[in-house]
Each structure stands twice: as C-alpha cells, then as structure tokens.
Amino acid sequence: MIPVTKPYLPDREKLDKYIDGIYEREWLTNNGPLVQELTKRLEEYLGVENLMLVSNGTLALQIAYRALGVSTTNRDEKPEAITTPFTFVATASSLKWEGVEPVFADIDSDTWCLDPKNIEKAITPQTKAIVPVHVFGNACEVEAIDEIAKKHDLKVIYDAAHAFGVNYKGESLLQHGDAAILSFHATKLFHTIEGGAIVFKRKEDLETAKRMMSFGITGLDNTIEELGINAKMNEFQAAMGLANLEDIEAIIMTRRQIKELYNRELAGSCILQKECPYITGNGAYVPIVLDNEKELLNLEVSLKSIDIYPRRYFSPSLDSLKIITNSSTQKYSNYIASRILCLPIYVSLSQEIINLIINVVKRRE
C-alpha cells in the first residue's frame, strides 16, 4: 500500500544513543535534558527565540491562546477569533474548546491561505485575535495581517503546523505573529512521534506559557501560581526529535525534489497551489485541485484500485460543521475543499511510484 505519507524513522543507532542516555539517567519527563537539548537545537536550526516544546500541536494552540490572553475563564465573556475554514479541524476546535468563538473569513482562491481582505469586515468588539494558517507550508500575507492586527489591537497566532523550516524573505516564517505553533505529529516532515512547539515573539509570553504547561506549578516548593494544564514533552519524544533533526536537511531536500517533480509534470493538468514568491518551501504536501468533485472521486477510485491512497486535505470546509460554527458559507474555501486531493509524498517514495501516480492523474483527462 502507498499511503499519502509515512513517518520518517531515523537510523536505530542514532536513536539508540539518545535512548541509552534516558535509561542511564532514569529521567523520563518534567523538562529532561533531551527536551532542553532539543529546544536549544531547534531554536538554532529554525533561527528563532522563545521556543517551547509541548506534547502535541493542539495543546500548543490552546496554551498560546491562554498565554496571550485570547481565551478566558470568565464565562460571561464571549471572545472571538478570526480564522480560516480551510484547515485541519484542530485550528478551530481548539478555539472552541478554549471558549473562543471561531469566526471564519474566506481564503485567497490561489494561495488557499486566509485572505487579509476578508479579515477586517469580520472584526467585532468581541474579536481578540486572528488565527491564520500557513496552509501546506505556504506563507500567509504576514505584513497585511500584521497591519490589521495593529490597527485593531489584536493578537496574531499563526497555525504553522505545516511550516517547519520554511523561510520568508530570508528569515524564519515562524518569527511572524505574537506566536506561531508547530506540530511534530508522526505525519509531519519533522516529528517527535507526537509533539509540538510554540514560538513566541516576546520572552514574557514564553515565561507565562511555561507556567501554564505544567499545571501552573513553579519553583521547587511546588507553588501553584495560575491555572495550568499538562502539556510537557517527554524524553522519548525528544529523543526521536533529536535523531530526526540530524537528518532534516536530507529530508527536506528530498521532499522538495519530489514536490518539484509532481508540480512540473502536473502543471496544466490540474490546479496547483500558488506559492508565495518569498518563501523557501519544505515539500510538506503535494495538493492538487480538480475541476469538480466527481472528477476528484473518480481519480481517487483509480488510485485506490492500484493500492495508492491519496487524502482529501482539507475536506469538508470547516464552516460547514455546525459543531464548530454557525458562520455563513465561505465561497472559495468550499470550492477548494470539495475538489482537493493530496498526493503521496515521503522520503522513501520511489521514482517508479511517483511516475505511476503522475500518469494516473494525467490519464483522467
């Protein structure tokens, strides 16, 4: 079977050297030495400061909302955040879970990221934040979003789950916003099995988040300073991350090459995402858009008949989920969501299989 992705597994000797240290120290969690080392090395590799590792990307979002004062424990308040309906459900459900109402604004029809032109008209007196998504690692219009946020005194939390290692105008894309979150789930190009990270603009927000991530407990005397949760990354997760980080340049280079091949061969055969011209991409996903949903379903059947399993990221458009929102329908998000298919991409995917997939996509015509 050829799945849409496969977790990258590092050489066992690389991983075992880190695991041996865990057994020697018998320190499994609570900010262990491997978590500390991975934090430092990720800051160096990504070119960022104020990075905090957490146990998964959804908790990264939730802690970012609380640390930045977007969510509240006051039941009388009904804060809102403007976000995109074209994303994985966690972007919006994490807001809802934190008592923040997701207000959807439509995406750009070409880049598939939140369109700044649609943000301002969605702002109300209850709006506390903008939560854009760097969809498939493609950069949002960060300057325009920043200008809107400053004008209306709003926080910006980027869901950058797909944007590991992406640079924008020569610097890390993660430097934009009051915070940017990463997912290190096993399906991501860099993973810690499960896991995630938050990159804060300000050190004081990082320090607030650190108190929150461990039940609100600080100091050796176990003082409880504020409401917290358990979001700590453990040492075995960090071991996987450190081993994978040793191979990350080769991982990203290979994925870029695969994506470039797909895009080159499929240009003109289907709609491709328009990539921001100022980014260095990471080859995270290979999305294509078909002319209509029937064509998509037929292609999906053709691929599955030869044991190739693409995936419909992201379908349905989240504005259609009544458990999330009663917002009005967003035209372009629904258009793309009903026609999009992500093709297989992972480091060990063979040239033969890539060519086979390309040929099946082309033959549908």
Catalytic residue positions, numbered: 188
Spatial neighbors of 100 by CB under 8 A, at least 6 apart, are 65, 70, 71, 79, 80, 81, 128, 129
Q: What type of residue sits at position 216?
A: G
φ/ψ of residue 288, rounded to 5: -130, 150
Beta strands (DSSP E) in 84-154 are 101-104, 127-131
Strand partners, 101: 80
Residue holding tokens 């009051």? 178
Contact (CB, 8 A) for 119 and 346: no
Look at residues 81, 79, 76 and name the one whose alpha carbon lies nearest to residue 92: 81
Respond yes or no on whether the N-terminal peptide bond of residue 314 is cis (omega within 30° of 0): yes
Beta strands (DSSP E) in 5-66 are 51-54
φ/ψ of residue 291, rounded to 5: -70, -30
Look at residues 265, 289, 326 and name the one whose alpha carbon lies nearest to residue 109: 289
Look at residues 306, 307, 308 and name the one whose alpha carbon lies nearest to residue 286: 308
Q: How many Cα atoms within 13 Å fall on the side-chain side of residue 349?
A: 29
Spatial neighbors of 323 by CB under 8 A, at least 6 apart, are none
Distance CA 10, CA 250 (A): 12
User: What is the layout of strands, in order, in the sheet containing 286-289?
Assistant: 271-272, 286-289, 340-343
